[in-house]
Structure 1
Amino acid sequence: MARLPAPVTATCDPSGPIMHTLPAGTVIVCAQAPGDGARVRISSPAGWLDAGVLDRADPAPALTIDFETFQQRHALVQPGDTYGIEFPFSLAMLEAYGPDFLTRAFHASGVMGADNRVTAILAMKPIEVKGASENALMTVSYAKDEPAISTELFVKMSPADMNRKFGLAGMSHGEVQIAQLSQKGIVPVDTAKYYFADYCTDTANYILITGKIAFGVDPIEPAYHKGYDFMVPDAGNHYQVLTQALARLVAAHKLGAMGHDIEAHFPYARAARDFWPSDESADRLDRLIDFIGRIAPQLFIAEGSDPAFLARWRDDVLFGLANKDAVIAFLHADPDYTGLCHSNLNIDNAWYWRDAAGTLHAGLLDWGGAGQMSIGQALSSMLMMPEPEGYIALQRATIATFIAAYRAAGGIALDAETVRFHYKASVFSTAIWIIVDYITDMLFQFSEEEYAGMNDRHDARLTSTGLYSAIIWIDNMLRDWLDDLTPGAACRQIVAQQTTLATV
């Protein structure tokens, strides 16, 4: 933390041009120090400053509560952290709170004029798609017309199920923070228009209200579904614009363009993808291997069902699950390869349109879990479910696109092989544990006889139930292990390096 106002220079030389002056109290992350330690390079805003002005910062405050406390508090109505207004956290509560609450909220956020008010909630249409939240499209009316505000809104809150709500509680704070920052015009990508959002640390409840995205209304493309890229015209171009948007976001963070208090909103590495393998992981992994190798090998790449390959793969997966802390720590050890990221930038978490010249653009949605994390983790989260036949090529193209777009936006030159190594290692924290501990059980809703009657993954029984997405996610994971650099090899290299350092 800067004890005094701290000038940041572009190079280690203190006589060089001053790029920023950090106010006293600014929390920064040190990325590197030369041998004498007199000056240090910092992560954001990227540059160098005098080490003598720094004091060790206090740990970032916790944003989540333990399960016992959560059980006691999650049904309580309490004020939000930002606006100090008590807010509803279910659609039924929102309808009961009615236009009076919306008027207070929109006045507090400044989105609506002080001489205006919400007069009625005319419609509340829940979005019946299972996900990490309770969502609805809401239509309201106002006392007077204002060109800058719409009657068609989107509402997002915590899921109703208590256990699911607790498990996802840590994701919502980042989404609320991004929404609030978007109103200030410092988020360098398109987002849905902000109306109101708040989070309550004491209860882990939140509410988000934005403008409605008119999917399918020209020029906006229809909404797409995760894992169904074969229905997306020119899916590769869509991943390209998502990647470019992510690069702009990370670059703005690193350049200090999102403010000097970014650590207060998004503490370093807090959004890192982490997981806790269950006691049943090994048994579920064996069931998955039996599914791939014996029950339904025709659904996957042929080499992935080879018994010798699956045996090696099993060893790698169990090794990675056992050493996940070392891998996640490695991914966040070098701040140059971390940044403020959208943590789940799948093709369905955006809206798309083309300009008059035919150029594709994207606005980003569903910011749950947003924060500082490994760039490799963010990229591997993005590429969970593209069509398997083009997955490895898309992976390489995405890394190249990110590096080029990041550099063009003012970021430093990243090493492609380092990003690729991080990508491969991060697959343990962004895909494998979910596949093993959650997706495996979903596969057995069909009998072995039914699977035997399926020619390939395009069988209607798979595409109509959503299992198509699960199958291609598993297939892509197998292809990662058939590549020249595998997640298992990356994990073993990381663990070996850390073991060597520990013994020196």
Structure 2
Amino acid sequence: MNDDGWARGDYLGLDMPAHADALRAGGATFLTEAFRRSGALTADARVAAVTELREFRGGSTGRKALLSVDYSGADGLPTDLFVKFSRDFDDAARDVGRTQMEFEVRFALLSRMAGFPIAVPRCLFADYHAPSGTGVLITERIPYGANGIEAHYDKCMDYTMPDPVGHYEALLGALGRLAGTHKAGRLPAELVEQFPVDMQRLSVGERAPYTAEQLQRRVDRLADFAVAHPTLLPDDLRDPKFVARLRNEVTAFPESEATIWRHLAGDPDYVALCHWNANVDNAWFWRRPDGHLECGLLDWGCVGQMNLAMVLWGAMCSAETEMWNQHFDALLDGFLAAFRSAGGPALEAATVKRHLLLYVAVMGLAWLLDVPSYLLKLLPEPVPDRFDARIADNEQARSRLLMMTNFLNLWSRNDMLGVLRGI
């Protein structure tokens, strides 16, 4: 990257801005060349003017901006755009995540193909420079709450959503179509090859696995949390018998983690290109004239080939626990039906469930048993319930609590040791 904040992209071969000031300096001239290079603009059309460029900070990595433009000689292109930079030069911790954009750029370029099986934000330009981790993605801006598109739904607040079951049916249907289309061989092979199977790359961070003793200490903190905040966990998850069972069973998993990952990658029929983090806050919804609910997906930073269990947990880890208990089997059937209809092989729901439990065990033990310590520090005094503003208005708190609850709920309702012994 040069001193002016520009880097040469690896895919489209154009110098691209690393931050909003560089984009502002490049202006309509850069955008015209970029949109032509991507194929969004024809050679006789251009970006005539930049009418808005407003930077903001959001998400966990990089910087973002709202961009609006006027065109000359172009019809049908969106004028209100969203810009995502991989870099955040003012925050070293956020800048560490800059490499996540490489696969998002690859996916955005793939999504331009005719007949792409699901709705994603229209890509006008995307490129990435691997040596510096510099990337930029420019897409249409989704107009939540306008033009027939529903309002945005926040993560882990499905209790504010109308018809949650219908929304998860639409969400999982879209994921199933994409995965099935890949398995059917209907995505360009030369682009799919840019997403090698590397499931452990799709992680929320890297650290040394906990030992059995460390996991047991975290279960002990869970027991402390259950006593200190009895209103924040369902009765069955606070039961000392369950906590004692969990404390005993977690010791079997640290030495088996590598085996679990090999098992999840072992059958290619159950591995497909898809979205790893398709919570409802990374989706948008609208209804067709016949009333059928449709779903589009954005924020593809962790995209790749993965076991389908990872897709399901990524979509439903933030769902209400009762959604798992009352509707998961039907939602799984719908997901697998969409997968088959798109050309994927017929899969066994029981196998997908086993894979799901193994993956949830790995992810939950790695990350979610830290939640009690976090919440005990955050909440020195008991709160009435999880809808209290101290939790509901804090995305980190409400998300961690609900995801941990879903992890524990799955453990409590299934024979996790039996699943582990079966691989």
Query: Scaled by the length of structure 2, what TM-score is found?
Result: 0.90
Give, in angstroms, the shift of residue 359 of structure 1: 0.6
Alpha-carbon distance change, 163 to 128 in structure 1, aligned in 2, over 3 angstroms: closer
Task: Verify: 1:148 aligned to 2:76, yes or no.
Answer: yes
- Conserved in 2, the CA contact under 8 Å of 1:194 and 1:211? yes
Per-residue CA deviations over 1:134-171 (Å, capped at 9, x if unaligned) read: 222211233x15212122101112251334333x3443
Give, in angstroms, the shift of residue 413 of structure 1: 1.2
2:398 maps to: 468
Give, in angstroms, the shift of residue 258 of structure 1: 0.5
Q: Please state whether the residue corresponding to 2:286 is helix, strand or coil.
A: strand
Q: Please state whether the residue corresponding to 1:484 is helix, strand or coil.
A: coil
Per-residue CA deviations over 1:384-423 (Å, capped at 9, x if unaligned) read: 1111223233332222112222122222110111000001
Structure 1 Cα separation of the partners of residues 359 and 392 of structure 2: 28
- Conserved in 1, the CA contact under 8 Å of 2:106 and 2:194? yes
What amino acid maps onto 2:77 in structure 1?
I
1:333 maps to: 266
- Conserved in 1, the CA contact under 8 Å of 2:110 and 2:191? no
Per-residue CA deviations over 1:3-31 (Å, capped at 9, x if unaligned) read: xxxxxxxxxxxxxxxxxxxxxxxxxxxxx
Alpha-carbon distance change, 201 to 120 in structure 1, aligned in 2, over 3 angstroms: same
Structure 2 Cα separation of the partners of residues 216 and 251 of structure 1: 30
Structure 2 Cα separation of the partners of residues 242 and 367 of structure 1: 15
Task: Verify: 1:480 aligned to 2:410, yes or no.
Answer: yes
Task: Verify: 1:118 aligned to 2:47, yes or no.
Answer: yes
1:448 maps to: 380
What amino acid maps onto 1:383 in structure 2?
M
Give, in angstroms, the shift of residue 372 of structure 1: 0.6
Count how many residue pairs are aligned between Structure 1 and Structure 2: 416
Structure 1 Cα separation of the partners of residues 15 and 249 of structure 2: 49
1:83 maps to: 12
Give, in angstroms, the shift of residue 125 of structure 1: 2.9
Per-residue CA deviations over 1:72-93 (Å, capped at 9, x if unaligned) read: 9999743111111121222233
1:241 maps to: 170
Give, in angstroms, the shift of residue 121 of structure 1: 2.7
Give, in angstroms, the shift of residue 492 of structure 1: 4.5
Mapping of residues 94-243 of structure 1, within 5 Å: 94-142=23-71, 144-160=72-88, 161-166=91-96, 168-243=97-172
Structure 2 Cα separation of the partners of residues 409 and 74 of structure 1: 47
Q: Please state whether the residue corresponding to 1:332 is helix, strand or coil.
A: helix
Task: Verify: 1:417 aligned to 2:350, yes or no.
Answer: yes
- Conserved in 2, the CA contact under 8 Å of 1:103 and 1:118? yes
Alpha-carbon distance change, 186 to 170 in structure 1, aligned in 2, over 3 angstroms: farther
Q: Please state whether the residue corresponding to 2:156 is helix, strand or coil.
A: coil
Give, in angstroms, the shift of residue 349 of structure 1: 1.0
Q: Please state whether the residue corresponding to 2:15 is helix, strand or coil.
A: coil
What amino acid maps onto 2:327 in structure 1?
L
Mapping of residues 296-311 of structure 1, within 5 Å: 296-311=229-244
Alpha-carbon distance change, 440 to 268 in structure 1, aligned in 2, over 3 angstroms: same
Could you tell me which of 375, 378, 383 is aligned with 2:311? 378
Give, in angstroms, the shift of residue 441 of structure 1: 5.3
Alpha-carbon distance change, 73 to 334 in structure 1, aligned in 2, over 3 angstroms: farther
Structure 2 Cα separation of the partners of residues 263 and 113 of structure 1: 26
Structure 2: stretches of 5+ with no match in the other structure = none
Alpha-carbon distance change, 279 to 330 in structure 1, aligned in 2, over 3 angstroms: closer
Which of the two has greater helix per residue?
A: 2
What's the % identity of the aligned pairs?
Answer: 32
Per-residue CA deviations over 1:174-233 (Å, capped at 9, x if unaligned) read: 211221112122531111111000111212221110011110003100111111111111
Alpha-carbon distance change, 289 to 356 in structure 1, aligned in 2, over 3 angstroms: same
Give, in angstroms, the shift of residue 442 of structure 1: 3.9
Alpha-carbon distance change, 410 to 441 in structure 1, aligned in 2, over 3 angstroms: same
Structure 1 Cα separation of the partners of residues 5 and 227 of structure 2: 50
- Conserved in 1, the CA contact under 8 Å of 2:369 and 2:404? no
Give, in angstroms, the shift of residue 475 of structure 1: 1.3
Query: Scaled by the length of structure 1, what TM-score is found?
Result: 0.76
